[in-house]
Structure 1
Amino acid sequence: MNKVTMSGNDGLWARIRAALGRGAGAQEPPYGQAAIARNPNKKSRLAQRIDEELRRSWQHAAQRNVSLCVIALEMDGYADYFAAYGREAVEDSLDRLEEVIAGLLPRETDRCLRSGRSGFMLVLPDMPALMARDLASRIAAAVRLQGLANRESHAGQVTLSTGIAVVNPAGALDRSVIEAAGEAVKKAQRRGLARLEVVDLRGRQQRQRKAA
């Protein structure tokens, strides 16, 4: 895929921000805030499901002395897409993407979990980094095949950026792997559309153990 970039000033939402005097620093449309106001417990429930999945997967990987990968996927240009198409269309697209991602997971026990307003989280024990990269590539290809129109994107369709964090679980549960995957997908989105960023935490773990 050709390298592309997306300006935060493009699209319908940029014009709405200007009209409302919110400025270029606005991060999301008011519709997203309203959705959370209608269901204030949704965010905490999503976080709890991710935490439970991480706890289960961490124990599984630690017992078998294998790596664990967390894959964070985030819809690119969510704010512009939401403003142009509305909440119902966005939710329909996210439901479709969730089905696509879930269908590509290698094991029946793997889960595609919603994360925030416009993302997904995969917590995959016994998943080497190279296999996680391959899975991310296959997900990106499957999303392109869906051809979900997005006139506010330079790609012309809905795309997902991906952040991968890999760790070797040992000892107490360390939730920083979730945070690392989230930061990785943000970094990927700063580089453009449908990008991938990988962070390997295993070197940091080794340094921490030597220091201890």
Structure 2
Amino acid sequence: MNKVTINGNDGLWARIRAALNRGADSPEPAYGQAAIARNAGKKSRPAQLIDDAFRHGWADAAGRHVSLCVLALEMDGHADYFAAYGREVVEHSIEALEQAIGRQLPRPTDRCLRHGRAGFVLVLPDMPVLMARELASRIAAAIRQAGLPNRESHAGQVTVSMGLATINPQGAPDRAILNAAVQAVRKAQRRGIARLEMVDLRGNEDRRRRAA
């Protein structure tokens, strides 16, 4: 695994830590792939961005007969964190998570898309499941290195749980893989914090064709 480093003196991280201690300053301009998704989100709703990315990723993978992975991520204990620190600090932290995730994305076309109040979705066509799992590990390491304080968690810092689903796309887009990834996050969070759950939907299309 590649070593992941994040400079604790970087402007954004300094602002977040200041916000956690005594109130937030204004956020620093965004950058990287996470910024692309966020800036695009000013014109489109997050759900629409995810749907567009999913349809494009499905068509790409189906056309090239390769697998499609979807990685869903969500901050653990968001409600308690929000109650303890307030909206402004939470938004700073979510922005920091978005940038930490964006730094790990291996391809220019990969995007970190906001999902819900404290979650993200990555649509990853033509990424083998083992590579997607390695990506999840790098993201988890980056978040640990970020060290965003969270006194409401027994980890002492902000953590993120993940759900990874994979499928071999055929025919019309099937949102079952998106739902499977999100449900996998819920299962991971029921088991604890900073966990990864995986769902393999490969073979579903063959079973549907045989049943038809």
TM-score range, shorter chain: 0.7 to 0.9
Match of 2:8 in 1: none
Match of 1:191 in 2: 191
Whether 2:75 is the aligned partner of 1:84: answer: no
Q: Aligned-residue CA RMSD in angstroms?
A: 1.4
- Structure 2 distance, partners of 1:173, 1:68, is 11
- Report the alpha carbon displacement of residue 189 of structure 1 after superposing the two structures with TM: 0.4
- Structure 2 distance, partners of 1:161, 1:206, is 31
Question: Which residues of structure 1 form unaligned runs of 5+?
Answer: 1-41
Quick check: 2:69–2:132 contact (8 Å CA) kept in 1?
yes
Match of 1:58 in 2: 58
Match of 2:209 in 1: 209
Secondary structure in 2 matching 1:111: coil
Whether 2:114 is the aligned partner of 1:139: answer: no
Q: Which moved more, 1:200-209 or 1:117-126?
A: 200-209
- Report the alpha carbon displacement of residue 209 of structure 1 after superposing the two structures with TM: 2.1
Amino acid at match of 2:177: V
Q: Deviation digits for residues 3-29 of structure 1, max 9, x if unmatched? A: xxxxxxxxxxxxxxxxxxxxxxxxxxx
Quick check: 2:163–2:188 contact (8 Å CA) kept in 1?
yes
Amino acid at match of 1:177: I
- Report the alpha carbon displacement of residue 136 of structure 1 after superposing the two structures with TM: 0.5
Match of 1:18 in 2: none
Q: How many percent identity over aligned positions?
A: 68
Whether 2:169 is the aligned partner of 1:169: answer: yes
- Report the alpha carbon displacement of residue 192 of structure 1 after superposing the two structures with TM: 0.2
Match of 1:100 in 2: 100
- Structure 2 distance, partners of 1:158, 1:209, is 44
- Structure 1 distance, partners of 2:145, 2:97, is 11
Q: Deviation digits for residues 152-203 of structure 1, max 9, x if unmatched? A: 0010000000001101111101111111100000000000010000000113
- Structure 2 distance, partners of 1:205, 1:155, is 41
Amino acid at match of 1:108: P
- Structure 1 distance, partners of 2:146, 2:165, is 26
Amino acid at match of 2:129: A
Amino acid at match of 2:171: G
- Report the alpha carbon displacement of residue 115 of structure 1 after superposing the two structures with TM: 0.2
Secondary structure in 2 matching 1:97: helix
Q: Deviation digits for residues 11-51 of structure 1, max 9, x if unmatched? A: xxxxxxxxxxxxxxxxxxxxxxxxxxxxxxx9x81111100
Runs of 4+ in 1 over 2 A off after TM superposition: 203-206
Secondary structure in 1 matching 2:162: strand
The TM-score with structure 1 as length reference comes to 0.78
- Report the alpha carbon displacement of residue 211 of structure 1 after superposing the two structures with TM: 1.6
- Structure 1 distance, partners of 2:206, 2:137, is 29
- Structure 2 distance, partners of 1:106, 1:144, is 19
- Structure 2 distance, partners of 1:47, 1:59, is 18
Quick check: 2:168–2:203 contact (8 Å CA) kept in 1?
no
Secondary structure in 1 matching 2:203: helix
Matches within 5 A, 1:2-81: 45-81=45-81
- Structure 1 distance, partners of 2:206, 2:199, is 15
